[in-house]
């Protein structure tokens, strides 16, 4: 009986961490919309490009039609992206889940244990995602987080579409091989 109570307590703690995370994300989103506008992070690659070009004394950010509409100074929204990376890393380290030496079992069972192949696939996927986001003029997190927060139909539709396409892609990539 005692083991059941411990399992229940752990489940409740995990559930509450999602609730607290959701509340904090909602507060950040409210702050972002009230002080800046829609929350999104893909623009920060262009911000970093503009900032770095300014440091190097290059002026292409102000003469480029795409870059001229994006701030070239580091602002709080850029620091949100930096914080997400640092926070994700710290959470992984604190939980003891950081493991760069092994390849996930699911990947190994489908594609083998080659680390270069795994990292190349992760890089290619990230590149395609970023390229698509910039090509579309925004990012998935911006449309889902800001769109749903503003009760925009497009945000809800896109959230459903991105989840459905993720499930289809995972099923395709990790399908069981017939023997």
Task: Decide if pLDDT at 178 tops 60.
Answer: no
- Same domain, residue pair 16 and 52: no
pLDDT digits (tens, 9 = 90+) for 4-39: 666 778 888 888 888 888 898 888 878 877 887 777
Other CB atoms within 10 Å distance of the CB of residue 142? 20
Domain count, the chain: 2
Domain end, chosen from 98, 113, 148, is at 98
Residue 69 lies in a domain: yes
3-class SS of residue 78: helix
Residue 103 lies in a domain: no
pLDDT value at position 38? 72
- Same domain, residue pair 61 and 29: no
Residue 58 lies in a domain: yes
Residue 144 lies in a domain: no
Residue 154 lies in a domain: no
Residue 113 lies in a domain: no
Q: pLDDT class for 1, splitting at 50, 70, 90?
A: low
Domain of 20, in residue numbers? 1-35
Residue 159 lies in a domain: no
- DSSP code, position 176: P
Backbone torsion region of residue 152, taken as left when φ is above 0, otherwise alpha when ψ lies between -120 and 50, otherwise beta: beta
Of 10 and 165, the structure prediction assigns the larger pLDDT to 165
Burial environment of residue 39 by CB neighbours within 10 A (0 to 12, 13 to 18, 19 or more):
buried
Of 93 and 100, the structure prediction assigns the larger pLDDT to 93
- Same domain, residue pair 31 and 44: no
Domain end, chosen from 80, 98, 116, is at 98
Name the H helices within the chain: 2-35, 43-55, 60-63, 76-95, 105-111, 115-136, 140-141, 147-149, 153-173
Residue 136 lies in a domain: no
pLDDT digits (tens, 9 = 90+) for 39-82: 777 778 788 888 888 888 887 777 878 777 777 788 888 888 89
The span from the CA of 59 to the CA of 33, in Å, is 30
- Same domain, residue pair 44 and 91: yes
Closest CA to 132 of 110, 154, 112, 158: 158
- Same domain, residue pair 56 and 87: yes
pLDDT value at position 127? 83
pLDDT digits (tens, 9 = 90+) for 103-135: 888 888 888 888 889 889 988 988 887 777 777
- Same domain, residue pair 9 and 49: no
Q: Return the structure tokens found at 54.
A: 């300014």
- DSSP code, position 104: -
- Same domain, residue pair 44 and 94: yes
Closest CA to 145 of 35, 24, 6, 2: 24
- Same domain, residue pair 28 and 72: no
- Same domain, residue pair 68 and 86: yes
The span from the CA of 84 to the CA of 169, in Å, is 25
């Amino acid at each position: 009986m005692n083991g059941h109570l411990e399992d229940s307590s752990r489940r409740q703690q995990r559930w509450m961490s999602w609730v607290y995370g959701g509340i904090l994300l909602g507060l950040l989103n409210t702050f972002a919309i009230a002080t800046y506008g829609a929350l999104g992070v893909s623009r920060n690659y262009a911000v970093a490009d503009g900032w770095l070009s300014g440091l190097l004394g290059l002026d292409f950010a102000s003469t480029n039609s795409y870059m001229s509409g994006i701030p070239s100074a580091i602002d709080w929204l850029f620091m949100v992206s930096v914080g997400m990376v640092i926070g994700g890393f710290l959470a992984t380290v604190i939980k003891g889940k950081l493991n760069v030496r092994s390849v996930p079992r699911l990947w190994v069972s489908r594609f083998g244990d080659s680390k270069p192949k795994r990292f190349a696939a992760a890089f290619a996927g990230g590149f395609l995602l970023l390229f698509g986001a910039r090509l579309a003029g925004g990012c998935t997190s911006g449309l889902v987080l800001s769109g749903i927060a503003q009760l925009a139909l497009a945000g809800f539709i896109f959230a459903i579409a991105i989840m459905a396409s993720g499930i289809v892609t995972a099923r395709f990539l990790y399908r069981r091989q017939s023997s």
